[in-house]
Amino acid sequence: MALFAIATIGMTVACQKSDSTDDGHGDINASIVGTWKVERALLNDNIIPGETVNMNIIMNDDGTGKLESNVAQLPIADSLFDWGLNGTTLTIRMNGGQTLSYTVTKLTATECTIQGTVVPGFPTMTGNVRVDLSREAVNPNPNPEPNPNPNPEPVDNDPFPGATNWVFNYDQTFTFDYNGSQITAHVIFNNTLNFANTGAAGVLNIVGAVSGNIPEYGEQRFPLGPLTINFTYTYDSVTSTGTMTGAVTGATPETIPFTYNTSDNTIMVEMDVVPLVAELLAEYGDDLPVGIDNIPQGTLPEYFTFTRATK
């Protein structure tokens, strides 16, 4: 079960230190209207690869826009927005009420860089943020083949698990002792699970954090991820059970069982909480204020229970 332990708290595996010679500044000589692919995001000088964010930002010429995830259907409040550009200040007002402000530091016919304090689409990921974007071509294939393959590869039309998307949103409050006081903190996860249409493969994205306001230290936040795990899977429709086999970069692949609940349309993946807590303390132990007891057992979820997002 170390797959999910490492995946959840392996920030140093998922991220790389940014190139200090590239400050994200350049020419500003084009329109921001268009569809932009997130090539990478930088959070506090750590690189989050584009395949982890896995998102497009659509800027329409009427001042409306949309965040478009490539692995799951986002709620309207988290995807639709209005935008305005005043000089180099880009203001995005999400449909759910949140207002985000970015500075445009590069804008050409093919590239755009924005800098602010929130990773687009991940409201819990805050800090010194930079997002590098590339403009999607309007028509990437203007001269298609006149005679397409009359016998394309068949696709898996089974409603499960092929071509399904799932989400796991978790917000758990817990308390811990600090110098004789009870401090309230949170554990959150915003994970997605995607099964490809063909090839018995999929992608698991894990994003979370442990946070709390500690006297003398202020608000403290320790990321859990983000990580992307590519896996292959098997599924038995008779027992509604299956396995996922995959690993983070540099780790040995492991096979994890999952169960599909047909009555409430959920997928449950079992966690091994003990190594998860141990890995968390090993990762951030030196950064924790002196006097904080261990995170109580039972705080972190024993299962990732994903609900159906789209077919």
Residue 154, classified by CB atoms within 10 Å of its CB into exposed (0-12), middle (13-18) or buried (19+), is exposed
DSSP code of residue 92: E
Contact call for residues 108 and 26 (beta carbons, < 8 A): yes
- What would the mean pLDDT of 31-46 be, rounded to a whole number? 89
Give residues with Cβ within 8 angstroms of 69, minimum separation 6: 54, 55, 79, 121, 192
Cis amide leading into 150 (omega within 30): no
Cis amide leading into 223 (omega within 30): no
Label residue 11 by pLDDT band (50, 70, 90): very low
Residue pLDDT, tens place only, 157-191:
444 687 888 999 988 887 877 777 778 888 888 88
- Helices 273-284 and 2-9: crossing angle in degrees, nearest 10, is 30
Q: What angle do CA 222, 227, 229 make, to 5 degrees?
A: 150
Own/partner contacts of 251-254, CB < 8 Å, gap of 24 or more, are 251/2, 251/3, 251/6, 251/13, 253/3, 254/1, 254/2, 254/3
Residue pLDDT, tens place only, 211-252:
888 777 778 787 777 778 888 998 888 888 888 888 766 677
Query: Can you tell me the distance from the alpha carbon of 146 to that of 134, in angstroms, rounded to the nearest whole number?
Result: 29
Per-residue tokens: 305: 């229970």
Q: What is the pTM of this model?
A: 0.46
pLDDT at 35: 93
* Higher pLDDT, residue 5 or 121: 121
Label residue 134 by pLDDT band (50, 70, 90): very high
Range among 13-17, 75-79, 110-114, 254-258 rated most confident: 110-114
Residue 302: count other Cβ atoms within 10 Å of its Cβ. 13
